[in-house]
Amino acid sequence: MSSTNSEKNKLEGINTKVIHHCKDFAEKTGAVMPPIFQTSTFKHGNPAGFDYTRSGNPNFRILENVLASLEGSKYATVFGSGVSAITAIASSLKKNDLILCEANLYGCTVRLFEQVFQKFGLKALWIDFTKQSSIDSIHQHKPALIWLESPTNPLLKIIDLKKVCSEANKENIPVVVDNTFATPILQKPLELGATISLTSTTKYINGHSDALGGVVCTQDPYWHDCMIFSQKALGLQPSPFDCWLITRGVKTLPLRLEKQIQNASFLADVLADNPSVVSVTYPYRKDHAQYSLAKKQMSKGGAIITVRLAANESNTYSFCKNLKYFSMAESLGGVESLICHPATMTHASVPVDVKEELGITESLVRLSIGCEDEFDLLKDLEEALDQLK
Ligand SMILES: *Cc1c(COP(=O)(O)O)cnc(C)c1O
């Protein structure tokens, strides 16, 4: 029985896919790994069509190919960071356009819309997309773009992406999903109806906390053209070396994530029973407010846990500092576990009343679970919790 190339590709498993891709560069040398194409410019008229690294480089293309295949998208464009990817999308809009945003977006997205793009006439409106009335209001606001994130940071709220996209699609309103927390392994926004899936590759995709990057995936040639234009016109391109690192990192994404998720679901359950813990938020726990939606929308629960401690701000701080394996740091998704105090770190710039309204209180901590052995992480957390008593 013969099969076409595309049929063969369909049969490829996820681990194979991230390891075996784009060998074209190696024809002349036999190199098993791609080189770093550390060049700013290319000879005019080359067959691959490169001209200047601000608008494309072989290392970008290698990474774009593997990320598009993970996402199942026709197009992927890489950027210097997640924030660059957000900038590329927002700068494709025009004066007086409205972005209808989920109220609990990543802090730097909020800052970018409110403190930068607002000056150029873009408007942003913040609503809670877990409410049906918010979804209904899409037709009233008629935004140029809808901006979602699920699970959200740090409260791991789950938005019904399929429902929002299907309402938006009735009026041809493009929907952007920031898929950084879930990754395309756990959730595929384009299949759920989104126009654009955006990921900060700094986090799980690279997974080693040693490079920054962002990617925008789409099936829509219009948005793809916008991304290529933004990359070049705004200077949002990554470096060839960072792309090379992220290409290396993504090879172990499914493996890393599997261990991280296994650790996270174990720790979430044990922490929930600890007397120094008020509550644990984890999408795949039955007590999560959108548990059944999470089960339907995500193939697994992810590796972020949000915990409310029975402690005031200074004790919460001491708890974070007393941990041995969890460094207190921003970012997430690496092989090493991290802990973050959102109220004073990632969400420090959010006004206090807004933080209260969102539920980002002084006793809230966000854990990014790494690949360490689960018993070491548990011992570390339990010892620090004991000191809270
Ligand atoms: C980190 C992050 C970003 C920004 O990505 P950078 O690579 O740090 O610029 C955007 N969205 C989410 C959800 C993130 O966690």
Alpha helices in the chain (DSSP H): 5-11, 14-19, 58-71, 82-90, 107-111, 132-136, 138-141, 161-170, 183-186, 221-233, 240-250, 253-272, 291-297, 313-322, 352-358, 374-386
142 part of the active site:
no
Q: Same structural domain for residues 268 and 146?
A: no
Is pLDDT at 1 greater than 50 in this prediction?
no
Last residue of a domain, one of 250, 277, 294: 250
* Residue 228 φ/ψ, nearest 5 degrees: -65, -40
Which CATH number goes with the domain that contains 165?
A: 3.40.640.10
182 with 258, same domain: the answer is no
Q: Which comes out higher in pLDDT, residue 356 or 94?
A: 94
Instruction: Examine the pLDDT at 354 and tell me if it is beyond 80.
Output: yes
Q: How far is the CA of 331 from the centre of ligand 1 (A)?
A: 8
Q: What token pair was written down for 55?
A: 């608008």
* Ligand 1: nearest atom to the Cα of 202: 7
For ligand 1, say whether the CB of 85 is within 6 Å of any of its atoms. no
Mean pLDDT of 34-58: 95
The mean pLDDT of 191-204, rounded to a whole number, is 98
DSSP designation for 36: P
Q: Residue 25: what pLDDT?
A: 72
Residues 155 and 234 in one domain: yes
Per-residue pLDDT at 21: 82
From first CA to last CA, the distance across the chain in angstroms is 67
CA 148/CA 165 separation, integer angstroms: 10
Return the structure tokens found at 105: 């977006």
Residues 302 and 181 in one domain: no
Where residue 72 falls (left for φ over 0; alpha for ψ -120 to 50; beta otherwise) is left
Our answer on whether the CB atom of 178 is closer than 6 Å to any ligand 1 atom is: yes
State whether the beta carbon of 82 lies less than 6 angstroms from ligand 1: yes
Statement to judge: residues 63 and 121 lie in one domain:
yes
Is 178 among the residues known to form the active site? yes
Q: What is the CATH number of the domain that holds 274?
A: 3.90.1150.10
Listed residues 224, 250, 276: the one ending a domain:
250
Q: How far apart are the CA of 191 and the centre of ligand 1, in A?
A: 22
Is 165 found in the same domain as 210?
yes
Q: What whole-number distance in Å separates Cα of residue 334 and Cα of residue 203? A: 6
* 315 shares a domain with 376: yes
Cα(76) to ligand 1 centroid in Å equals 17
Mean pLDDT of 17-28: 79
- Residues above pLDDT 70, as percent of the chain: 97
Among candidate residues 234, 250, 266, the one where a domain is terminated: 250
pLDDT digits (tens, 9 = 90+) for 88-99: 999 999 999 999
Mutate to test the pocket of ligand 1, among 148, 187, 203, 210 (most ligand atoms within 8 A of CB): 203
What digits encode the pLDDT tens for the residues 278-328?
A: 999 999 999 999 999 999 999 999 999 999 999 999 999 999 999 999 999
pLDDT at 355: 85
User: Which of residues 107 and 89 earns the better pLDDT score?
Assistant: 89
The verdict on 162 and 270 lying in the same domain is: no
Annotated catalytic residue, options 178, 204, 251, 300: 178
CB-based contact 115:238 (threshold 8 Å): no
pLDDT (0 to 100) of residue 3: 40
Q: Are residues 28 and 119 in the same domain?
A: yes
pLDDT of residue 2: 40
Range of the domain at 44: 3-250
What length is written for the chain?
Answer: 389
Rounded mean pLDDT of 184-194?
98
In the predicted structure, residue 130 carries a pLDDT above the cut 60:
yes
Supply the mean pLDDT for the chain: 94
145-162 residue pLDDT tens: 999 999 999 999 999 999
Mutual orientation of helices 253-272 and 374-386 as an angle, nearest 10°? Answer: 30
Query: pLDDT (tens digit, 9 = 90+) per residue, 26-44?
Result: 777 888 899 999 999 999 9
pLDDT at 315: 95
Cβ distance 195 to 58 under 8 Å?
no
Q: Say if residue 144 is in the same domain as residue 286.
A: no
What per-residue confidence (pLDDT) applies to 11? 72
Atom of ligand 1 at shortest distance to CA of 203? 1
Tens of pLDDT, residues 311-325: 999 999 999 999 999
**pLDDT for the residue numbered 31:** 87
How remote is the CA of residue 189 from the centroid of ligand 1, in Å?
17
How many domains is the chain built from? Answer: 2
Residues 123 and 219 in one domain: yes
Tell whether 189 and 258 lie within a shared domain: no
